[in-house]
């Protein structure tokens, strides 16, 4: 554990596909073809009904800030240049919540839309006031 | 019945030259001596994980080092709740007749055995490796998100949270083994450097070396007669992005199960030992488990209710925030202090009335909850 890298490669094909979507400016989420439940993060089965028929859709990238923190002490030397940066929980209009970056000036309840910026070893979604 | 027959701890802080095994075994020998038992009396060994010694079989490694040949042994992982979870399992083992005396122990040289960056990165793995960690999230960031939302939703202020940091430091000042003993003021907390706003440095627990151990027995050993009256758990989510209800993270459900088993209510409790990795952790847990009104934990601290002379003394050793946090041993130290208070062995920190204690451990990001009720016989 002592050689923990700063960031992690996507753990499996589902996660890799999601991050590849982000690199193309797309935030994917899942809708169960059997029960209609919306879920995030993406996985192989619906957590509401157990169905394996989870369809991936692209979000419009609009939502509201549920919570936000401004990180002044990053986890590694590699991310120090980015600090301070804001991490938020965002409630997307399609009915799912995700973690993402946000404009540090955002506040809880703000309407936001997604942009895509380089951070660490990848491009990440970053939300700013709509 | 299950008794906490003996407890022990090393000093906390930076213990140069220490290791997971040296810290855990030193604490274990103290706990066994406190219980009046030797290694030959121990037939169960439970330990947690250690980030500085990620061995695949930590319990048997420790048992071998100490010369114990248990009939039941393994390591457990429930984050910061592991300590209380181990003692709950020890209770189940002696209640079921599998064991007579279970040693639950933990130790980690988390401060001296790795760099600060390594420590922060390793702990951040409690977050989702694909959908949280890549954003540069840290444990303080996850709790920063909790704090911002909780403050917004329940009208808690930064000053309310700071009261809890001041209180924990005051308590630690009376414990010779505590990591951080220099008193701090409300202004010190509010002016400390930002870590993951709204959380500042003094809202966060330190990274410490330390070892803690507890002996749980089926029969009283002639030492302390402190018994476990009830225990319960709840696990509603692992990652903060999957936590749905800020008013119900699982703490109340775990506490409810412990109270139901004990046949008690919050009104029957006269000592509190509650997990406090951050000031927000302590506020949320006190409020959700019903010992403080929503948004009211800081005010109760301000009014002296949680002090050694208060009606609900809380973490009289100084908690994770000031006694220190060495991983699994951090959460187990709360239980050790509760047992000492109930046994009348808390020295200068001894509270006037301590017959029953409520203990709560939280692992991950308010993810794993274990509650326990102790009673002096």
Assign residue B263 a region: left if phi > 0, alpha if psi is -120 to 50, beta otherwise?
left
B140-143 contacts, C-beta under 8 A, 24 or more apart: B140/A71, B140/A73, B140/B195, B140/B196, B140/B199, B140/B204, B140/B278, B141/A69, B141/A71, B141/A87, B141/B196, B142/B240, B142/B365, B143/B196, B143/B199, B143/B277, B143/B278, B143/B280, B143/B281, B143/B365
Nearest CA to B358 out of B317, B318, B323, B313 is that of B313
B258 with B356: CB under 8 angstroms?
Answer: no
Query: For chain B, what is the mean pLDDT?
Result: 96
CA–CA distance, B171 with B333 (Å, rounded to integer): 14
User: Where are any strands of DSSP class E within chain B?
Assistant: 3-9, 44-47, 72-75, 101-109, 194-197, 199-200, 209-217, 226-235, 271-274, 356-363, 368-376
Q: Do B197 and A8 touch (CB under 8 A)?
A: no
Which pLDDT belongs to residue A2? 36
Residue with tokens 């420790």: B62
Q: Among partner residues A1, A88, A100, which is closest to B54 by beta-carbon distance?
A: A1
Model pLDDT for residues A57-100, shown as the tens digit of each residue: 999 999 999 999 999 999 988 899 999 999 999 999 999 999 99
Contact partners, residue A12, CB within 8 Å, separation at least 6: none
Q: Give the pLDDT confidence of B105-164 residue by residue, as tens digits.
A: 999 999 998 888 888 888 888 899 999 999 999 999 999 999 999 999 999 999 999 999
Question: Which of B135, B141, B148 has its CB closest to that of A100?
Answer: B135
In tens, the pLDDT along B205-231 reads 999 999 999 999 999 998 889 999 999
d(C-alpha A17, C-alpha A34), whole Å: 22
Q: Give residue A86's Cα distance to chain centre.
A: 13
On the question of pLDDT at B69 being above 90, the answer is yes
- Cα separation, B158 vs B231, in Å, equals 32
Torsion of CA B158, B205, B258, B263, to 10 degrees: -70
Return the pLDDT at B107: 96
> Does residue B98 sit in helix, strand or coil?
coil
> What per-residue confidence (pLDDT) applies to B115?
85
Instruction: Specify the residue for token string 């192989």.
Output: A44
DSSP assignment string, B185-197: -HHHHHHSPEEEE
* C-alpha dist (Å) from residue B29 to B9, B154, B355: 9, 45, 26
B139-154 helix and B279-288 helix, angle to the nearest 10 degrees: 50
Tell me the C-alpha distance between B255 and B220, whole Å: 25
In order of A46, B225, B306, B319, the CA distances from B342 in angstroms are 48, 9, 16, 17
Q: What ipTM was reported for this prediction? A: 0.94
Q: Which residues of A touch B120 (CB under 8 A)?
A: 73, 75-76
Angle at B366 between CA B360 and CA B370, to 5 degrees: 30
pLDDT at B114: 86
Average the pLDDT over B240-258 and give the result. 97
CA distance B377 to A127: 57
Retrieve residue B258's tokens. Answer: 């412990």
Facing B129 at nearest CB: one of A8, A69, A121 = A8
Q: Which helix (H) or strand (E) holds A123?
A: strand A122-129
A34: its two tokens: 């059997």
Contact status, residue B349 vs residue B240, Cβ threshold 8 Å? no
Q: Which two tokens stand for residue B273?
A: 């030992």
User: How far apart are the C-alpha atoms of A90 and A97, rounded to whole Å?
Assistant: 5
Interface with chain A: mutation pick from B77, B130, B240, highest number of A CBs within 10 Å: B130
The pLDDT assigned to A10 comes to 57
Question: Rounded to whole angstroms, how far apart are CA atoms A99 and B99?
Answer: 45
**Chain A nearest CA to B76, separation (Å):** 17
Vertex B148 angle, CA B146 and B152, to 5°: 115
Spatial CA neighbour of B302 closest among B155, B164, B154: B164
**E-assigned strand segments in B236-367:** 271-274, 356-363
Give all strands (DSSP E) within B193-311, no chain letters. 194-197, 199-200, 209-217, 226-235, 271-274
pLDDT digits (tens, 9 = 90+) for B84-100: 999 999 999 999 999 99
Quick check: A54 pLDDT over 80? yes
Helix (H, G, I), strand (E, B) or coil at B261: helix
Interface probe with B: pick from A75, A92, A97, A100, most Cβ of B within 10 Å:
A75
- Min Cα–Cα distance to chain A from B345, Å: 38
Distances, alpha carbon B306 to alpha carbons A45, B43, B48, B137, B233, in Å? 46, 38, 29, 32, 24
CB-based contact B197 A70, cutoff 8 Å: yes
pLDDT digits (tens, 9 = 90+) for B267-316: 999 999 999 999 999 999 999 999 999 999 999 999 999 999 999 999 99
What is the tens place of the pLDDT at every residue in A3-38? 334 444 558 899 999 999 999 999 999 999 999 999
Spatial distance between the Cα atoms of B127 and A96, rounded to a whole number of angstroms: 18
Q: What is the DSSP letter of B205?
A: P
- The per-residue pLDDT for A9 is 56
Between CA A72 and CA B157, with CA B150 as vertex, the angle to 5 degrees is 75
> For residue B124, what pLDDT is reported?
80
Beta bridge partner(s), residue A98: A90
Q: Hey, what are B86's tokens? A: 């181990």
* Nearest residue to B155 via CA among B291, B287, B304: B287
Stated pTM of the model: 0.96
Q: What is the CA radius of gyration of chain A?
A: 16
How far A23 CA lies from chain B's nearest CA (Å)?
Answer: 14
């Amino acid at each position: 554990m002592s050689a923990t890298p700063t960031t992690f490669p996507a753990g499996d094909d589902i996660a890799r596909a999601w991050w590849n979507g982000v690199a193309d400016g797309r935030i994917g989420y899942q809708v169960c073809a059997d029960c209609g439940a919306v879920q995030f993060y993406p996985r192989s089965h619906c957590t509401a009904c157990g169905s394996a028929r989870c369809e991936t859709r692209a979000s419009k990238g609009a939502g509201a800030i549920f919570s936000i923190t401004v990180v002044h002490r990053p986890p590694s030397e590699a991310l120090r240049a980015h600090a301070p940066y804001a991490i938020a929980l965002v409630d997307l209009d399609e009915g799912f919540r995700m973690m993402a970056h946000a404009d540090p000036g955002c506040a809880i309840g703000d309407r936001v839309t997604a942009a895509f910026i380089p951070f660490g070893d990848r491009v990440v979604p970053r939300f700013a006031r709509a | 019945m299950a008794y906490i027959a003996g407890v022990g701890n090393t000093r906390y802080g930076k213990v140069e030259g220490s290791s997971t095994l040296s810290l855990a075994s030193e604490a274990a020998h103290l706990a066994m001596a406190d219980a009046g038992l030797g290694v030959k009396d121990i037939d169960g060994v439970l330990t947690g994980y250690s980030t500085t010694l990620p061995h695949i079989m930590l319990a048997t490694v420790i048992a071998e080092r100490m010369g114990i040949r248990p009939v039941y042994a393994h390591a457990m992982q429930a984050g910061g709740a592991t300590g209380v979870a181990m003692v709950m399992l020890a209770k189940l083992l002696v209640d079921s007749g599998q064991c007579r005396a279970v040693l639950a122990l933990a130790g980690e040289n988390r401060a001296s055995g790795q760099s600060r960056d390594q420590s922060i990165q390793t702990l951040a793995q409690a977050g989702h490796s694909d959908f949280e960690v890549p954003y540069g999230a840290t444990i303080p960031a996850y709790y920063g998100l909790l704090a911002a939302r909780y403050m917004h939703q329940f009208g808690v202020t930064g000053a309310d949270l700071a009261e809890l940091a001041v209180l924990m430091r005051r308590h630690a000042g009376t414990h010779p083994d505590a990591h951080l003993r220099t008193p701090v003021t409300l202004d010190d907390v509010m002016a400390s450097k930002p870590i993951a706003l709204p959380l500042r440095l003094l809202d966060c627990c330190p990274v410490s070396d330390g070892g803690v151990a507890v002996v749980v027995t089926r029969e009283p050993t002639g030492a302390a007669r402190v018994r476990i009256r009830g225990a319960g758990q709840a696990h509603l989510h692992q990652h903060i992005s999957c936590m749905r209800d800020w008013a119900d993270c699982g703490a109340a459900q775990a506490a409810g199960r412990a109270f139901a088993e004990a046949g008690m209510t919050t009104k029957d409790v006269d000592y509190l030992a509650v997990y406090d990795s951050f000031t927000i952790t302590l506020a949320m847990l006190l409020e959700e488990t019903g010992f403080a009104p929503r948004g009211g934990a800081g005010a109760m601290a301000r009014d002296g209710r949680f002090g050694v002379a208060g009606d609900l003394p809380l973490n009289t050793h100084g908690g994770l925030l000031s006694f220190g946090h060495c991983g699994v041993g951090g959460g187990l130290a709360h239980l050790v202090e509760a047992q000492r208070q109930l046994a009348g062995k808390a020295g200068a920190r001894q509270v006037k009335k301590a017959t029953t204690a409520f203990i709560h451990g939280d692992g991950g990001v308010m993810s794993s909850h274990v509650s326990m009720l102790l009673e002096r016989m």
